[in-house]
Amino acid sequence: MPLKMSLARFTFVVIAAGMLVGTAMAETTWWGGRPELGIEYEHEKSSDNQSTGNGITLIPSLSFKTGPIHRIDLLLEGERDKEVSSGVTSFSNLYKVAVRVRKNVPLQGDLGMYFRGLVGHAQSDSEKYFYGYSDAALRYEHGFFGFIMGVRVQRALDGTRGHDLYKFRLGPSFDIGEHHELEFRWARSWDADTRAHESDSYIVEYTYKF
């Protein structure tokens, strides 16, 4: 994907691809899994208020009721970053492609946990690198309402500096009928080496379940 592609154009490509994927997956089951399609918007703000980022991610998925893995996601993300330094404003683009898997663990009643692992590749205007993260979260679900609270450990897999983070994440989700889910998340990031507060993110994700 060309690095000079604007976020608006990437958004159009994401939505168009999502419509095509949705048409292809409707009323079918792949390898025993239920197809789903998510679209996520994230607004990230640095702790020093010098930079902000707006990202859109397309997430086609397969969800499994049984087996060692309960969910497989493909993440296609485009992000537009704005930074202000010494009165000068600059913009940059970031694109990511990643694969993520999830394992659900029931605990008691409506309470459970999940664990996720991700491996991906990121490319910006100035660098490219491989990265990964692992998630662990407590999950409460009752009727149409859900809530998660968890931690994430993110690392650059090729030694690229500046991308090793810890994250704390929480927020509610709502099942709207059989096919629709809406999630809201707040996440806070810390530098893995200095433990300094890096940023806060506000995330909304819509998922259609076929």
Q: What is the 3-state secondary structure (H, E, C) of 145-186?
A: EEEEEEEEEEEECCCCCCCCEEEEEEEEEEEECCCEEEEEEE
Least confident residue range of 11-15, 46-50, 141-145: 11-15
Asked whether the predicted pLDDT for residue 23 surpasses 50, the reply is: no
In a domain, 191, yes or no: yes
Band (pLDDT 50/70/90 cuts) for residue 46 is: very high
Of residues 12, 18, 17, 16, the one with CA closest to residue 208: 18
126-169 residue pLDDT tens: 999 999 999 999 999 999 999 999 999 999 999 999 999 999 99
Of residues 165, 132, 130, 172, the one with CA closest to residue 151: 165
pTM: 0.85
In a domain, 1, yes or no: no
Asked whether the predicted pLDDT for residue 3 surpasses 60, the reply is: no
CA dist., res. 130 & res. 31, Å (int): 28
How many structural domains are present in the chain? 1
Say if residue 27 is exposed, middle or buried (CB neighbours under 10 Å; 0-12, 13-18, 19+).
Answer: exposed
- CA 201 vs CA 44, 45, 58, 181: distances in Å: 4, 6, 18, 20
Residue 127 tokens read as 């660098």
Residue with tokens 């994907």: 1
Sign of CA dihedral 124, 10, 172, 131: negative
65-106 residue pLDDT tens: 999 999 999 999 999 999 998 889 999 999 999 999 999 999
Residue 19 tokens read as 């419509």
Asked whether the predicted pLDDT for residue 24 surpasses 70, the reply is: no
In a domain, 2, yes or no: no
Band (pLDDT 50/70/90 cuts) for residue 25 is: very low
First to last CA, the chain: 28
In a domain, 61, yes or no: yes
In a domain, 92, yes or no: yes
**Identity of the residue numbered 171:** G
CA dist., res. 199 & res. 191, Å (int): 9
CATH of the domain at 180: 2.40.160
Domain span including residue 62: 7-209
| Interacting residues of 42 by C-beta distance below 8 A, sequence separation 6+ | 53, 54, 55, 56, 57, 79, 201, 202, 203
CA dist., res. 149 & res. 193, Å (int): 23
In a domain, 56, yes or no: yes
In a domain, 66, yes or no: yes
In a domain, 202, yes or no: yes
Residue 103 tokens read as 């394992």
Residue with tokens 């397309």: 58
